[in-house]
Amino acid sequence: MSSANTTPTPIPGSAAPSGITASASHLGADPKITRRLTRVKHIILVLSGKGGVGKSSVSAQLALSLSSQPPPEGSTSNSTNGKAKVGILDIDLTGPSIPRMLGLDGENVRQSSDGWVPVFTDAQQNLAVMSVGFLLRSKNDSVVWRGPKKNAMIKQFLGDVRWGDLDYLIIDTPPGTSDEHISALEYLNGFHPSAVMVTTPQAVSLADNLRSLDFTRKTGLPVLGLIENMSGYMCPHCQECTNVWGKGGGEALAQREGIRFLGRIPIDPGLVRLLDDAREEAVRKEAGEVTKASDDSSNPRIEGEDQEGAKEGRAAKKEEEEDVSATIPTATTGTALSRTTVQRYFDSQTFPIFQSITEKIKEEVERFKQQLQAPR
């Protein structure tokens, strides 16, 4: 184990004020967001400088893993089954993948008198999910997002979703440092978010992560640690590990940058099948497990093609706070049961590895909160 794993150094960024300066400072505390987020104990963003390295799969695994464990000390989530209450918010607006990874493709967000009801993965409602993927008519629909529209969507996700009392809110982000990150961090200012970084062992991913680290420093976003994903391939027959893209670069980067190395996840073909399995929905529907909503059931929707918006270009800037929740009533669900995805995940080869990563993240997030409370 490296010294980066054990030395109780301050969480990088925890001494700096949480929030972002300059460009997006016109945003700020929103009463609706405050009402929702004061009920969330820990907010964790999953970041990486590069696309396709596993942010969404790490977000999904972290949410599943946390929601399978007891709530943190001092929890106010009133969990009835002894497991933590977790939310996962997918702010990858142009490439949402969380619904698919959790076997929730085709589910709908429901409108209630107190805001949007997220989709739940389980009957006990321990894991709540919100993604723009639930708002599209078809998963193949595209939406052309201008910066202000992205901003408005993220504001709605944070302020209009009935998250309830959560122990953890995990936020899956797009690659790099873009409008989505800036908007999210601005709205989360004051709610003490922290970040987990994901890299693969390739030099290009490590270099891109350095840029993301620079972003976290500039914005005062504390980094809980770094995960090296797709770190070698373990042959299921002979157990020999092939370092397809090298190995250890993530740990070296973490050590060099003074952040905790959280662990490495090997390439697991079983995980790909699990997370990319589109047949899941059909299986669930066939089993008749999907529940029907009984109360007000208008489903928020975004029109698939925002061609008009694309043409409007810069003139559209004044629409900064526009409401993107055009509603088209259809009678469907707010709660889904996808026990098979979750159960299959618990049985996967990666699950025990991720449990140990989750333990470290929990330690770091508690340490960060303690540092915040310590007298300066």
Ligand X SMILES: Nc1ncnc2c1ncn2[C@@H]1O[C@H](COP(=O)(O)OP(=O)(O)OP(=O)(O)O)[C@@H](O)[C@H]1O
Residue whose pair of structure tokens reads 């059909």 in the numeric block: 282
Q: Which CB, 115 or 174, lies closer to ligand X?
A: 174
Three-state DSSP class for residue 306: coil
Residue 230 touches which of ligand X, Mg ion, none (Cβ within 5-8 Å per kind): ligand X
**What is the x/- site pattern for ligand X, positions 258-297, by CB under 6 A?**
-------x-xx--xx--xx---------------------
Rg (CA), the chain: 20
Other Cβ atoms closer than 10 A to 343: 10
Q: Does residue 53 interact with ligand X by CB under 6 A? A: yes
Q: Does residue 173 interact with Mg ion by CB under 5 A? A: no
Restricting to residues 93-122, name those near Mg ion by CB under 5 A: 97
Closest to 326 (Cα-Cα) out of 61, 164, 137: 137
Distance CA 59, CA 197 (A): 11
- Closest contact distance (angstroms) between CB of 62 and ligand X is 11
- Closest contact distance (angstroms) between CB of 230 and ligand X is 5
Stretch that binds ligand X, among 91-99, 183-191, 280-288, 357-365 (CB under 6 A): 91-99
**What is the x/- site pattern for Mg ion, positions 20-59, by CB under 5 A?**
-----------------------------------xx---
**Strand ranges in 55-183 using DSSP code E only, listed in sequence order:** 86-90, 110-112, 115-117, 119-120, 127-131, 166-172
- Closest contact distance (angstroms) between CB of 90 and ligand X is 9
Size of the site for ligand X (CB under 6 A): 22
Name the amino acid, one letter, at 229.
N
- Closest contact distance (angstroms) between CB of 51 and Mg ion is 7
Distance CA 263, CA 1 (A): 10
Cβ-defined contacts of 243-247 (< 8 Å, 24+): 243/201, 245/200, 245/201, 245/202, 246/201, 246/202, 246/203, 247/201
Name 361's bridge partners.
Answer: none
Contact residues toward ligand X (CB under 6 A) are 48, 51-57, 92, 95, 97, 174-175, 229-230, 265, 267-268, 271-272, 275-276
